[in-house]
């Protein structure tokens, strides 16, 4: 079974959350959703999930066995089941994947036009440097001169490009194939992102997103009365694709079990930022630690989404800047030889 899209996951979680809120069991809810679907692979999936739920499988186990859901969906659902917050988990997942769906669309729209323009400009540059400038050079030779300065340097560069044309075309084709596969093949995209998470998932924008996931599990656990160390162990299972954060969660849970202070331990292992630890400590002193953790989770989620939006918004201006430089190079490569030729004739 292929992985569901972000839109399908969001719609399914939202529908299930609404049905569970109305008092309908997971198995019956999945059967009702399947009845509204036309015969398709998705309908078969819903019926299989309903059968497993009716046979006593937990919702998270049924989701995991189907292979159609990311690990984050199954992990957060399991956290909700253990903390008695299944409806809350489903609602959070619906919102999370709706945001991911919108973000994916923004990324595609932000990258598509500049990327196409960049490829076209690269092709024009290669043609001008490798085919047009040699014509100017032959004109210069007939006039008993040769291209010098910037124009001469561009001519040499164009000759080099001409010799490397097969390699350049191969690299360009490889880049296009990679982008097509990354955009259209979910399994390939997940492998690339999984490799990135293992190496860099604790830093930058990825780090903010993954730490926000941990904060969400902690908030759900504290609200339902779970011991914090147990909530951290659940969070560690949710970020198994990020070894650094997973190890931090396990070390933090171990120290809490030994009696270490909560906020100090969370700060030392960089589970929460320092300012959020201060907020949690103030909330715990006032007897509202779960409320404070809920606010921290919300703030970290918003902060991570803002960081992702900023990163995406910087891509298009960067590509436009590169394209502008290429356009300037084209103008120089064409105009300078023309000016020199006109000066020589005059």
Q: How far apart are CA 252 and CA 221, in angstroms?
A: 15
What number of residues does the chain have? 346
- Dihedral sign (CA 304, 306, 308, 310): negative
3-state secondary structure the chain: CCCCCHHHHHHHHHHHHHHHHCCCCHHHHHHHHHHCCCCCHHHHHHHHHHHHHHCCCCHHHHHHHHCCCCHHHHHHHHHHHHHCCHHHHHHHHHHHHHHHHHHHHHHHHHHHHHHHHHHHHHHHHHHHHHHHHHHHHHHHHHCCCCCCHHHHHHHHHHHHHHHCHHHHHHHHHHHHHHHHHHHHCHHHHHHHHHHHHHHHCCCHHHHHHHHHHHHHHHHHHHHHCCCHHHHHHHHHHHCCCCHHHHHHHHHHHHHHHCCCCHHHHHHHCCCCCHHHHHHHHHHHHCCCHHHHHHHHHHHHHHHHHHHHHHHHHHHHHHHHHHHHHHHHHHHHHHHHHHHHHHHHHC
8 A C-beta contact, residue 249 and residue 236 = yes
As given in the structure block, the two tokens for residue 142 are: 């007939």
**Whether pTM exceeds 0.85:** no
Residue 122: which of 314, 319, 313 has the closest Cα?
A: 319
8 A C-beta contact, residue 197 and residue 206 = yes
Tens-digit pLDDT string for the chain (346 aa): 677 888 888 899 899 999 988 888 888 888 988 888 888 888 898 899 899 988 888 888 999 888 888 877 887 788 788 878 888 888 888 887 887 787 677 666 666 666 677 677 777 777 776 777 677 667 767 766 666 666 667 667 766 766 777 787 777 778 777 766 766 666 676 777 777 767 777 788 788 888 888 888 888 778 767 788 888 887 887 787 788 888 988 999 889 888 888 888 888 888 888 888 888 888 888 888 888 988 998 888 888 878 877 877 777 677 777 767 766 766 676 666 667 666 766 5
What's the angle, vertex CA 337, arms to CA 336 and CA 339, rounded to 5? 65
Which positions ≥6 away from 254 have C-beta within 8 Å?
229
Q: What pLDDT, on the 0 to 100 scale, is given for residue 333?
A: 62
Q: How far apart are CA 231 and CA 285, in angstroms?
A: 20
8 A C-beta contact, residue 124 and residue 163 = no
Q: How far apart are CA 277 and CA 293, in angstroms?
A: 9
Q: What pLDDT, on the 0 to 100 scale, is given for residue 151?
A: 63
Phi, psi of 155 (to 5 degrees): -65, -45
**Boundaries of every domain in the chain:** 6-69, 98-346
């Amino acid at each position: 079974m292929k992985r569901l899209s972000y839109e399908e996951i969001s719609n399914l979680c939202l529908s299930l959350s609404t049905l569970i809120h109305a008092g309908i069991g997971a198995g019956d809810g999945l059967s009702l959703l399947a009845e509204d679907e036309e015969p398709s692979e998705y309908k078969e999936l819903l019926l299989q999930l309903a059968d497993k739920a009716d046979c006593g499988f937990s919702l998270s186990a049924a989701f995991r066995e189907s292979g159609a859901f990311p690990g984050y969906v199954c992990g957060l659902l399991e956290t909700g089941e253990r903390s008695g917050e299944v409806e809350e988990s489903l609602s959070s997942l619906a919102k999370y994947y709706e945001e991911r769906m919108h973000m994916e669309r923004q990324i595609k729209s932000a990258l598509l036009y500049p990327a196409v323009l960049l490829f076209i400009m690269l092709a024009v540059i290669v043609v001008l440097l490798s085919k047009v400038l040699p014509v100017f050079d032959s004109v210069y030779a007939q006039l008993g001169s040769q291209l010098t300065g910037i124009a001469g340097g561009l001519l040499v560069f164009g000759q080099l490009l001409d010799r490397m044309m097969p390699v350049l075309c191969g690299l360009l084709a490889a880049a296009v194939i990679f982008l097509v596969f990354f955009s259209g093949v979910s399994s390939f995209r997940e492998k690339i992102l999984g490799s990135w998470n293992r190496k860099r998932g604790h830093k930058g924008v990825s780090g903010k997103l993954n730490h926000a996931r941990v904060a969400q599990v902690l908030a759900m656990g504290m609200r339902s009365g779970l011991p914090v160390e147990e909530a951290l162990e659940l969070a560690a299972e949710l970020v198994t694709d990020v070894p650094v954060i997973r190890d931090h969660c396990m070390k933090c849970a171990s120290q809490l079990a030994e009696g270490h202070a909560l906020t100090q331990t969370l700060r030392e292992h960089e589970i929460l930022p320092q300012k959020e630890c201060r907020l949690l400590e103030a909330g715990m002193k006032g007897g509202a630690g779960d409320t404070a953790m809920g606010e921290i989770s919300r703030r970290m989620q918003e902060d991570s989404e803002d960081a992702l939006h900023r990163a995406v918004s910087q891509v298009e201006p960067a590509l436009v800047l590169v394209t502008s430089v290429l356009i300037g190079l084209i103008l120089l490569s064409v105009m300078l030889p023309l000016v020199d030729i006109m000066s020589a004739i005059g």
